[in-house]
Amino acid sequence: MDKINILIVEDENIVAKDIEFNLNNLGYNCIGNVSSGQKAIDKAIESKPDLVLMDIMLKGDMDGIKAAEIIREKLNIPIIFITAYFDKKLIEKAKITEPYAYMLKPFSQRELHTNIEIALYKHQAEKEIKQSRMWLQKTLENISDGVITTDINGLITYSNPVAQKIIGFKSSELKEKNISQVFNVYEQNTELSIDEILKTILDNGKTINYENGLILSNDRIKQVFINNKISPIKNADDKIIGIVFIFRDITEKKQSKEILRLIVDSTLSSIGDDFFKSLVQQLAKTLDVSFAFICELKDIDKKICRVISSWEVDAHGENIDFFMQNTPSEAILNGNLVFYPNRLQYLFPKDPLLKNNNIESYIGIPMFDAEKNIIGHLGVMHNKPIKENSVHQSILKFMSQRVAMELIRKKSEEVIKESEEKFRQLTNSLPHTIFEMDKNYKFTFVNNYVYNSFGYKALEMLDSMSMYDILAIEEKEKADENVKKVLNGENIDFSEYSALKKDLTLFPVLIYYSPVFNKEHIISGVRAVIVDISKLRSTEKALKDSEERYSLTFKSINDGFWDWNIITNEMYFSPRWKYMLGYEDHEIINSLDQWFNRVHHDDLINLKEKLDSYVNNLFGGFEQEYRILHKNGKYVWFLAKGNAVKDSKGTIYRVFGSQIDINQHKVNEKLLENLLHNASHDFLTGLPNRSMFLEKLEKSIFKSKSKKDYNFAVLFVDIDRFKVINESLGHNIGNILLVEAAIKLQLCLRPEDTIARFGSDEFAILIEEIESSNDALNVAKRIQKEMIVPFLLNEHEIFVSLSIGISTSSTNYEGSEEIIRDAEIAMRRAKNIGRSRYELFDSDMHTQALELLQIETDLRYAIERKEFVLYYQPIISLKTGKITGFEALIRWIHPKKGIIGSDIFIPIAEETGMIIPIGVWVLQEACQQIKIWQTKFDNNVLTMSINISGKQFSSSKLLDNISQTIIDTKVDPVNIKLEITESTIMENADKARSMLEQIRELNIQLQIDDFGTGYSSLSYLHRFPVNSLKIDRSFVSRIGANDENVEIVRTIVSLAKNLNMEAIAEGIETFEQLKKLKSLDCEYGQGYFISRPVPVKDIEKLMGSNPVW
């Protein structure tokens, strides 16, 4: 919340300072102190404080009261007077400025705080009241009702603009007038006067409503009809302090109702053109206008309208078509009421009708159909101006709906008549006999075709014949039954009869019956359509003979047969067709759905589209392979073939064909496809394999040589620490991870890119059509981002990172193996830098790779050539300062390169597996050396610390190698300390614990190396059979004058003691570090301050001097 800003106006500086001190203590913000009235005004205008503390007696021409008056008037800022004088005249003078408090100096801090808070609260309340009054004032000024308030004596205290307009008085004229002087209101039925109404409300305190029309009259207006609501105004004590009148002028509403009643009464009994004529005449008369008209819209695009009825001054006008453009009626097309009160000829100078008839004003309103389309308009015109009158508009709006309904009804009637005429023409043109008869079976209509069918003329049948005269005697009972059903409202199918011609010849017919309805939609007769089926029967016989021949033919064919009538949608399947699906003939009905419903959903669309395309285009023949469900529940492959049959006009009406079993062919085809796929794809992930990838890569290399603007890139991807995941969670989880990783990688690529599985946890990606190496880098970024989301595999949440190497076609490669090699080199570089990275191959990497390759080659011969030596770094007791043991550190004395550090060749040895034989040699050499020194220096407690690599630790032969070394060197195992890094142990804590326990059973001591960097869990640490913790040099090296990292070291030392372990600090380089470690009660230490790692002879020389640190 913002602080309250307060201005102090005080001419005595010490008093001002005291007030400012109190304000600050109370949490207010003092924006300044001024000593004169004019300065107070200027400062208030500039800073606009929330409150002013004003001394009354100020120096200069203006006192505090005058200054406060100006500030209140201009800025409405609350004022609190502070003065040392209590003078009644002074107080009376100060009241003019409406101060919020008056405080006598001196005053307490509590008194100051109380008066400020009350003043601020009061000022805020005043602002809210003022705002509420403004809102109320605006509301009353803008509502559509008149509002007048009076006191209890009837004196008017307020009136809004609407009230002033209704009663005919201005606001200034209403001041201090009694309500009875302004107008006299009385209810029509009871004739209560205004004074009587006021007395009733003051007596019972209830609201009075008059909703049946009141008459309001005064000396300025004769009579206005209003709805009135009169209510008491009460104060907080529920005492009546005034009266409020709320009323609405309903004069025009009453006039509209009366005019509508007259118009409706005069047009009630007429319809159609009579209604239209009567209406326009009555509209002109009742609305007192010269012209009234009804127009029907004929063409909305061309804006053509037809006058269907009009009244012009004293007679009906002629009906004409006219263009609405440039006339007052054009605006009707916008769908809204149009009103031009005057100057019509000036507004539409191109409309001759206006000038010829001296028309001055116009009101028009559109008419709509049920779909809200404009169908015309209703309007009036006058040769004098029309005042804005809601009566005219409301009458026209109401009557436009009635006119629209009548216009729609009239149009519907015309449509029906036109439809009946079309029906007559249609029935006479049909090649069938059609008749209608009444309930007595007498013909009421017969079309002309009856002569062709029966030999009678239509008039012959209408004169004296009935339906029974044209049917064989034996058919009359059936016909009678069917006709009665139709007359009773039942639906019946067509029936076949034997009909009788005029020459007494019998012939077969089909009769379709339907009911005839009268205007009241009641069945009044029967309509019948008679179809001569003589030719149909002859055709059916010929068809039956043909089908019998077809049946005999297809029973001898081994394939299934189907026949589809396109016209009737009837389908036929041969027994063989059904048998091929495992069904008997009666088990499948002849329906197209029986075919399609069994087709495999993946094949159904193609089958339907192919069949539909053939039927519509008739190109070649129909042929489609698909799978269909056999009765045994399996899908089998079929081939459907078909040909179309056309009628005499060349229109296709039938398709027939065969169904051939091709299932075995498809099975063989699928086997071959799988063999080809498996030969080029990885079985686990389904991705292309190495050989397929290299084949595609060779094509890309060839393309890049022949097409200069074609570039591509290869990404070599390796899953970091996959072996740890595989060994700790099992090969099944490892396999699932590979599949899921493959899916994620594919999602990061385009469809045209290629990804292949290259090794156990390696993938290769070919990205084609790139503009620069940035495109490949962006893909690598996208992959790394996607891999941030962990995998959830069998309830294991696994976070996976990738190392990615990138090589591009910008280097002129001759073969695929070269670019793969460089991408792999870049990947190794990324992994060595820190994993979860990507690197773009450059020439320096190639040079470095060659050097490392040479080192790898030389490394394989180093053991045989005895190029390895051990250096030893002393370990001292920080309590006695004497040497207690050594750490063995391997060095490679290369014949050409000199000494090569272990940080260079050990990672290569780890990767190639040569670390195992090197580790065995180190173990043998170090154990043998400590045995020699124990004898030489007569010290059986000297220890030897030997590093065990991660690969050694996971080797199944580690225990055998240790046991054999102890036997060979005859060293006491208690003097041997094996160092395993914290990260190696935590890669698989449970497996590591088992291995450590077996080593301890050999009585060998165990040390966790680089402790504090491998994020080991304390819940695991206390379970490991470890003897000591080696504090990583990164913590020790930072111990200095400012004691940085001291607390970390202290914590590790304390942790070791609590777990019954010893703590060894490595990396001691200064005396201060040694001193601090001793003070922390750390047991052992080693580092350059004590001694660098040195050869055997230097250790023996050092031991001979018997040093103490």
Q: What is the pLDDT of residue 815?
A: 85
Contact predicate 916/891, CB 8 Å: no
* Ordered DSSP codes for 930-950: HHHHHHHTT-TT-EEEEE--H
In the Cβ-directed half-sphere of 829, how many Cα atoms lie within 13 Å? Answer: 22
Contact predicate 705/819, CB 8 Å: no
Question: How wide is the angle at C-alpha 799 spanned by C-alphas 797 and 803, nearest 5°?
Answer: 155
CB atoms within 10 A of CB 701: 18
Domain encompassing residue 95: 5-134
C-alpha span between 512 and 514 (Å, rounded): 7
In a domain, 358, yes or no: yes
Task: Provide the CATH number for the domain around residue 1046.
Answer: 3.20.20.450
| Most confident by average pLDDT, 6-20, 841-855, 898-912 | 6-20
Q: How remote is the C-alpha of 821 from its chain's centroid?
A: 46
Range 291-295 average pLDDT? 93
Residue 268 shares a structural domain with residue 238: no
Residue 485 is which amino acid? K
Q: What is the pLDDT of residue 1015?
A: 47
Number of domains in the chain: 7
* Ordered DSSP codes for 326-343: TSGGGGGGGTS-EEE-S-
Range 619-648 average pLDDT? 88
Q: What is the pLDDT of residue 878?
A: 96
* Backbone torsions φ then ψ of 546, nearest 5 degrees: -65, -40
C-alpha span between 238 and 499 (Å, rounded): 98
pLDDT tens for residues 179-200? 877 766 655 555 666 777 788 8
Q: What is the pLDDT of residue 558?
A: 67
SS3 at position 440:
coil
Which positions ≥6 away from 547 have C-beta within 8 Å?
Answer: none
Share of the chain above pLDDT 70, in %: 91
In a domain, 552, yes or no: no
Residue among 995, 866, 857, 865 at smallest CA distance from 914? 857
pLDDT at 367 over 80: yes
Residue among 214, 231, 219, 234 at smallest CA distance from 180? 219
pLDDT tens for residues 373-427? 999 999 999 999 987 667 787 778 878 888 888 888 888 777 767 766 776 766 6
Q: Please give the DSSP secondary-structure letter assigned to residue 606.
A: H
Which positions ≥6 away from 1030 have C-beta within 8 Å?
Answer: 979, 1007, 1008, 1009, 1010, 1011, 1064, 1065, 1066
- Least confident stretch, 156-170, 289-303, 699-713: 156-170
More confident residue, 581 or 187: 581
Task: Provide the CATH number for the domain around residue 614.
Answer: 3.30.450.20
Q: Please give the DSSP secondary-structure letter assigned to residue 1024.
A: S
Q: Please give the DSSP secondary-structure letter assigned to residue 582.
A: T
Q: What is the pLDDT of residue 260?
A: 66
pLDDT at 63 over 60: yes
SS3 at position 117:
helix
Q: Which of 189, 216, 249 is the last residue of a domain?
A: 249
Residue 576 shares a structural domain with residue 720: no
- Least confident stretch, 42-56, 616-630, 936-950: 616-630
Residue 343 shares a structural domain with residue 392: yes
The tokens describing 498, both together, are: 């034997």
Residue 358 shares a structural domain with residue 438: no
The tokens describing 915, both together, are: 């670390």
Q: What is the mean pLDDT of the chain?
A: 86
pLDDT bucket at 865, cuts 50 / 70 / 90: confident
pLDDT at 575 over 80: yes
Residue among 1049, 1024, 1020 at smallest CA distance from 1034? 1049
C-alpha span between 469 and 462 (Å, rounded): 12
* The total number of residues written for the chain in this structure: 1109
Residue 766 is which amino acid? L
Q: What is the pLDDT of residue 142?
A: 79
SS3 at position 1109:
coil
Contact predicate 820/848, CB 8 Å: no
Q: Please give the DSSP secondary-structure letter assigned to residue 785.
A: H
Which pTM value belongs to this model? Answer: 0.38
Residue 492 shares a structural domain with residue 580: no
pLDDT bucket at 211, cuts 50 / 70 / 90: low
pLDDT bucket at 429, cuts 50 / 70 / 90: low
Residue 1068 shares a structural domain with residue 923: yes
pLDDT at 721 over 90: no
Q: What is the pLDDT of residue 203?
A: 84
pLDDT bucket at 1087, cuts 50 / 70 / 90: very high
C-alpha span between 8 and 30 (Å, rounded): 7
* Backbone torsions φ then ψ of 96, nearest 5 degrees: -60, -35
Q: Which of 642, 668, 694 is the last residue of a domain?
A: 668
Task: Provide the CATH number for the domain around residue 692.
Answer: 3.30.70.270
Question: How wide is the angle at C-alpha 99 spanned by C-alphas 96 and 103, nearest 5°?
Answer: 120
C-alpha span between 793 and 965 (Å, rounded): 43
Range 101-118 average pLDDT? 89
Query: What does DSSP say about strands 240-249 and 224-234: parallel, antiparallel, or unpaired?
Result: antiparallel
pLDDT at 903 over 90: no
Which positions ≥6 away from 902 have C-beta within 8 Å?
Answer: 889, 890, 891, 892
In a domain, 495, yes or no: yes
Which positions ≥6 away from 976 have C-beta within 8 Å?
Answer: 927, 930, 943, 944, 946, 966, 1004, 1005
* Backbone torsions φ then ψ of 265, nearest 5 degrees: -60, -40
Q: Please give the DSSP secondary-structure letter assigned to residue 592.
A: H
Residue 461 shares a structural domain with residue 501: yes
Q: How remote is the C-alpha of 717 from its chain's centroid?
A: 35
Match 């009911």 to its residue by tokens. Answer: 515
- Least confident stretch, 215-224, 586-595, 805-814: 215-224
Contact predicate 224/251, CB 8 Å: yes
More confident residue, 504 or 1045: 504
Residue among 723, 712, 929, 703 at smallest CA distance from 820? 712
Residue 104 shares a structural domain with residue 149: no
Q: What is the pLDDT of residue 872?
A: 97
Q: Where are the alpha helices (DSSP H) in 48-108?
A: 64-75, 88-95
In a domain, 858, yes or no: no
Residue 233 shares a structural domain with residue 287: no
pLDDT tens for residues 1013-1045? 654 456 567 788 999 999 988 889 888 756 667
pLDDT at 926 over 90: yes
Beta bridge partners of 224: 216
Task: Provide the CATH number for the domain around residue 273.
Answer: 3.30.450.40
Query: What does DSSP say about strands 802-808 and 712-719: parallel, antiparallel, or unpaired?
Result: antiparallel
Which positions ≥6 away from 158 have C-beta within 8 Å?
Answer: 140, 147, 148, 149
Helix and strand numbers, DSSP H then E, in the chain:
39, 44
In a domain, 849, yes or no: no
In a domain, 169, yes or no: yes
Q: What is the pLDDT of residue 77?
A: 92
* Backbone torsions φ then ψ of 400, nearest 5 degrees: -65, -35
Residue 895 shares a structural domain with residue 1044: yes
pLDDT at 59 over 60: yes
Share of the chain above pLDDT 90, in %: 39
pLDDT bucket at 619, cuts 50 / 70 / 90: low
Residue 29 shares a structural domain with residue 49: yes
Residue 695 shares a structural domain with residue 761: yes
Contact predicate 765/780, CB 8 Å: no
- Least confident stretch, 456-460, 722-726, 798-802: 722-726
Contact predicate 101/81, CB 8 Å: yes
In a domain, 156, yes or no: yes
Match 């109404």 to its residue by tokens. Answer: 197
Residue among 38, 41, 5, 9 at smallest CA distance from 23? 5
In a domain, 856, yes or no: no
Which positions ≥6 away from 269 have C-beta within 8 Å?
Answer: none
Contact predicate 658/561, CB 8 Å: yes
Query: What is the chain's alpha carbon radius of gyration, rounded to the nearest angstrom?
Result: 56
Q: What is the pLDDT of residue 808?
A: 92
Which positions ≥6 away from 396 have C-beta within 8 Å?
Answer: 283, 337, 363, 364, 365, 378, 379, 380
Q: Which of 249, 282, 305 is the last residue of a domain?
A: 249
